[in-house]
Amino acid sequence: MTAGERRLLVPLYVHPAVDPGAWAALLRAAPALRGVVLNAADGPGRRPDPAFRTAAGRLRDAGVPVLGYVDTGYGRRPLRAVLADVRRHRGWYGVDGVFLDQVPTAPEFLTRYRRLAVCARALGCRTVVFNHGTHPDPGYARIADLLVTFEGDWEAYRRAGVPDWTRTHLPSRFCHLVYGVPQERAGHVSRTAGLRGAGVHCAVPGTGENPWQTAPPPSAWKPRA
């Protein structure tokens, strides 16, 4: 599998001690992973967690980039608090980058998020991901390395559309995160994401308040025929 086929970004929001099998599955899928989002407690938590530190180290040893989850509160959370979480992720878990969640879509926040991205990179983050959950103003594509332009369930994904402006950017700049996916449809999500110009995706069967507690099934990460 080539670097260009590292097409999965996996948010795995479950403690390694609760479901070690899910974390072990990510190691088996390592060649297909664009990254894994580490979320100890809606962020890095108040203190280092040895289980997450070990899980992050194993993924890095397998060549998988680890991204620290940080909530930005749709631009309402103070910049100092956001960057404090980035520092904790870097210091405690040695993350390679940052996954900024709850990022707004409106252009009036561009300056704020440009500054945030610059600061995150200055702290050592090689990858900056913005999770909008939908398509934002095109200006955000000039700031982050990767934009999550869809996050939702399988039924919503089947009906989703793509704005024309995305065609002027490489597919590697866009990611679709889909939950509630029947196992036999995981490969369909991969194909659909490609057709919609997103080179990165994730498809998991989970549902409910936290659908990101399971790893993608093998049918989602095995090389395409």
Which of these, 168, 178, 177, 167, lies nearest to 131 by C-alpha position?
Answer: 177
Average of pLDDT values for 15-34? 96
Residue 222 pLDDT level (bands cut at 50, 70, 90): low
DSSP state of 91: I
| Mean pLDDT score, 46-58 | 98
Decide if pLDDT at 223 tops 60.
no
pLDDT of residue 130 exceeding 50, the answer is yes
pLDDT tens-place string over residues 182-213: 988 988 999 999 999 999 999 999 999 999 99
The total number of residues shown for the chain amounts to 225
Confidence of residue 225 (pLDDT cuts 50, 70, 90): very low
Count of helices and strands (H, E) across the chain: 7, 8
Threshold 0.85, pTM exceeds: yes
pLDDT band at 218 (very low <50, low <70, confident <90, very high): confident
Query: How high is the pLDDT of residue 197?
Result: 97
Band of the pLDDT at 5, cuts 50, 70, 90? low
Q: What is the pLDDT of residue 2?
A: 42
3 pLDDT exceeds 50?
A: no
The mean-pLDDT minimum among 36-45, 93-102, 117-126, 209-218 falls in 209-218
In terms of C-beta density within 10 A (0-12 exposed, 13-18 middle, 19 or more buried), how is residue 168 classed? exposed
Tokens coding 4: 């260009």
Angle, alpha carbons 154-156-162 (nearest 5°): 110
Contact present, 205 and 181 (Cβ < 8 Å) = yes
pLDDT value of position 1: 36
Separation CA 145–CA 80 (nearest Å): 22
Mean pLDDT of 100-119: 98
Where residue 130 falls (left for φ over 0; alpha for ψ -120 to 50; beta otherwise) is: beta
